[in-house]
Amino acid sequence: MLRCFSCGGKWLKDVKDFDDDDDDIPIRSSDSSEHGSGRSLLSGRGKESSSQKGNMARSFTFRELSIATRNFTETNLVGEGGFGRVFKGHLDSGQIVAIKQLNRDGFQGNQEFIVEVLMLSLLHHPNLVNLIGYCSSGDERLLVYEYMRMGSLEGHLFDIEPGQQPLDWSTRIKIAVGAAQGLEYLHCKANPPVIYRDLKSANILLDENFYPKLSDFGLAKLGPVGDNTHVSTRVVGTFGYCAPEYVMSGKLTLKSDIYSFGVVLLELITGRKAIDLSRKAGEQNLVVWSRPLLKDPTNFIRLADPMLQGRFHVRSFYHAVAITAMCLQESANFRPLIGDIVVALKYLASQSNKKSSRGVARSPLPPSQSPSPLKHGSDSFSRDRDFGSFSSI
């Protein structure tokens, strides 16, 4: 995935060199030990962290990881990103893992490596990928994760191969719920809160049951504490997913992540990439293309991914679009909190489970959980139908 803002690209040899970039370092490394058993800088506000205290990343030798990947053979290669290449590996214990090898010529460097290790040593939730260990040996930097059999969400939404089954609507909603729960943990349960900064479909990994987990915490940053409303930082992230106010001012808030989440929802709804340079002018930036459609509920259906072939729960679809529009509000203050998004999406998931075919919805959203002033009674879609009550979005 194209990164428009580099995170520095420095190849830092030692942990102590981190002080070079004080402004952009989420956590200090002084208390990190080889086995990640240092004093915890983040204390979970939820039950997840206390229940997973023993779940610490361990240190691997380069030799162990070479053996696990059969010397990093191409046949074990499962993907490649800005950080480097990702290999499938088999540990001595029999466990299957994904091993990410830092590319020394890449833009992303040692800083992200250490932030990733520290963050994932301290943060634990079923919707965050599990870091099993790491290797820091000479110039080599590797990360060892639980293996996510279905790869990234990106691989299931775009450029579907002939014969590949597109994701159905209820699976898309389940993925949205899981990703939102992961974000809720970062925003509401981690203490201090963590701003993820790199939410995108490439970083939502899926297990064999399409259960989603957020990955790549190398850009994550501790959120504002006390009376502060934002943290100021160099702008990093992925083009197409960054909130406009963050790009303009460098002021980072939890609402920056909400905007990125809105872009992911839009990808789930449309099956289009956040940025797709192969499309004609005017359609290359997904948010720009969708803005006029998001403003007019009679156009919502034009957002639907053709791969869904109209097989979705209509009310659930409309509500999902409404939630998306709220997340993508230009004004950060008007974007919803992640806790409210989780409630609304869970409700949609329960509706999608009832029936995932076109046009049947048995009950409207309860007013207290409604993501928008939705008009009730629109059980089946009609292009000409009056959806005037959506106009407040």
Which residues here bind ligand ATP, judged by CB under 6 A? 1, 3, 78-83, 86, 98, 100, 129, 145, 147-148, 151-152, 155, 202-203, 205, 215-216, 238
Reference 319, options 372, 277, 392, 244; nearest CA is 372
In the complex, the smallest distance separating the C-beta of residue 202 from Mg ion, rounded to whole angstroms, is 5
Distance in angstroms (rounded) separating the CA atoms of residues 283 and 269: 15
Supply 237's token pair. 């992230």
Q: Which does 83 bind (CB under 5 to 8 A by kind): ligand ATP, Mg ion, none?
A: ligand ATP
CB nearer to ligand ATP: pick between 24 and 216: 216
The answer to whether the CB of 177 falls within 8 A of the CB of 349 is: yes
Please, which residue, 241 or 259, has the CB nearer to ligand ATP? 241
Q: Which of the residues are catalytic?
A: 198
> Which residue's C-beta sits nearest to ligand ATP?
81
Q: How far is the CB of 140 from ligand ATP (least distance, A)?
A: 16
Residue pair 259/240 in contact by the 8 Å Cβ criterion: no
How many Å apart are CA 372 and CA 327, to the nearest integer?
Answer: 12
Residue 268 binds what, of Mg ion, ligand ATP, none (CB under 5 to 8 Å, by partner type)?
none
What is the DSSP-derived secondary structure letter of residue 231?
E
Among 216, 257, 267, 305, binds Mg ion (CB under 5 A): 216
**Radius of gyration (C-alpha) of the chain in whole angstroms:** 21
Nearer to Mg ion, 101 or 351 (CB): 101
Distance CA 33, CA 344 (A): 41
DSSP lists the bridge partners of residue 251 as 232
Q: With CB cut-offs between 5 and 8 Å by kind, which of Mg ion, ligand ATP, none does residue 100 bind? A: ligand ATP
Instruction: Give the pair of three-digit tokens for residue 259.
Output: 């905007």
Which listed range, 106-114, 197-205, 249-257, 271-279, lies at the site for Mg ion (CB under 5 A)?
197-205
CB of 5 vs ligand ATP, minimal distance in Å: 11
Q: Which backbone phi and psi does 9 adopt, to 5 degrees?
A: 75, 10
The size of the interface with Mg ion (CB under 5 A), counted in residues, is 3
Binds Mg ion (CB under 5 A): choice among 203, 260, 316, 356 = 203
Query: Rule CB under 5 A: is residue 257 a binding residue for Mg ion?
Result: no
Q: Which two tokens stand for residue 146?
A: 């639980």
Provide, rounded to whole angstroms, the least separation between the CB of residue 161 and ligand ATP.
14
The Cα–Cα gap between 195 and 256 comes to: 8
Task: Specify the 3-state DSSP secondary structure of 355.
Answer: coil
> Cα-flanking dihedrals φ and ψ of residue 111, to 5°?
-60, -50
Residue nearer to Mg ion on the CB measure, 5 or 311: 5
* 303 touches, from Mg ion, ligand ATP, none (C-beta below 5 to 8 Å by class): none
Half-sphere exposure of 264 (CA within 13 A, CB side): 30
Q: Which is nearer to ligand ATP, 152 or 324 (CB)?
A: 152
Question: Cα-flanking dihedrals φ and ψ of residue 270, to 5°?
Answer: -95, -25
**Rounded CA gap, 293 and 390, in Å?**
12
| Minimum CB distance to ligand ATP, residue 235 (Å) | 15
Q: Please, which residue, 203 or 290, has the CB nearer to Mg ion? A: 203
Minimal distance in Å, beta carbon 356 to Mg ion?
29
